[in-house]
Amino acid sequence: MRLVDVHARLLKMDIPVFRTSDAAARLGVGNVHASKLLARLAASGHLEKLGRGRWGFKDRIDPFALPEYLTAPYPTYVSLQSALYHHGMISQIPSVIYAVSITRTRRYATSLGTVSIHHIDPSFFFGHQLAGKGHGRIASPEKALVDFLYLSPARTGLFRALPEIELPRGFKTSEARKIIRRIRPVRRRNHVGRLFEELMKSRAGASEKVPPRHRTSARGVNRRVRIGNSFFRAA
C-alpha cells in the first residue's frame, strides 16, 4: 500500500488524533503493519507521534489541546507562563508551552514545539476553561498566577522568579485567595498565600508612588491568541 494512499484514507477519518488500532481498522490491516505505516508517515512529516500508539495530523492539532494529547489519558491544561501571557499578564512570549497535569513532570519535544508539563496534586486540578478550536483547556487568570506560585518550590527552578505581572481587568483577588485556600498540604498553602499577599502588597505600594494623573488603569486581557509559531518557538 502506497504511503500517499494510506495518508489519504486516514485523512478521511476527519479527526485530529487517533490510535494505531483506529488506523488499522481504517486501512484493513493488522496493528503491527499499521504501526509501521504510521511510523513512515511520521518520518516523512505527515504525522506527529504523540505517544505510544497515538498519532495526530499536525495541521489539525489545536495548540491548546496539544498538552492533553501528549499526557492522555491523564488530564492537562495550559497554565503558568503560557496562560499568563495569553491573559495579557506578562509581555514576554514563552519559548515553550507550559501546562499542569496530575501526571508526572515531563518535557516533550515535538515538531509542533516543546511542551513542559508540571505535576500538581489531583485535588488542585481545577480552575480551567475550554480554549481554542479543539478540546484544549487553559487556566483562568487567577488560577494561572496561583499555579505559578504553587510550583515556586519546584526543583526545576522555573517558577522561583515571577515575571513582572500586569493584572488584567476583571482579575479577582478574592477568587485567587479562594483558590489558595484549597491547596494541600497546609505548609504549601501558607507558602503560596504569603507569596500572593507580598505580591499584592508590592503592587499596591508601587501604585501609591505614582502621581494620580500618571496612573493608568489595569491593562485589559490580550484577546489576540498568540498561539502560532511564536508560541511554540523552540527553547
- For the chain, how many residues are written? 235
Residues 49, 117 share a domain: no
Residues 167, 118 share a domain: yes
Structural domain that includes position 27: 3-60
Query: In what order do the strands lie in the sheet containing 17-19?
Result: 17-19, 54-56, 48-51
Whether the CB-CB separation of 183 and 150 falls below 8 Å is answered with yes
Strand duo 113-119 + 106-110: pairing: antiparallel
Sequence-separated (6 or more) residues with CB below 8 Å from residue 202: none
What pTM, to 2 d.p., does this model score? 0.85
Residue 229 domain-assigned (yes or no) = no
Residues 113, 76 share a domain: yes
Residues 77, 27 share a domain: no
* CATH code at position 21: 1.10.10.10
Residues 25, 111 share a domain: no
Per-residue pLDDT of the chain (235 residues; tens, 9 = 90+): 899 999 999 999 999 999 999 999 999 999 999 999 999 999 999 999 998 899 999 999 999 999 999 999 999 999 999 999 999 999 999 999 999 999 999 999 998 899 999 999 999 999 999 998 878 999 999 999 999 999 999 988 999 998 899 999 999 999 999 999 999 999 999 999 999 999 999 887 665 555 544 443 333 333 333 333 333 332 3
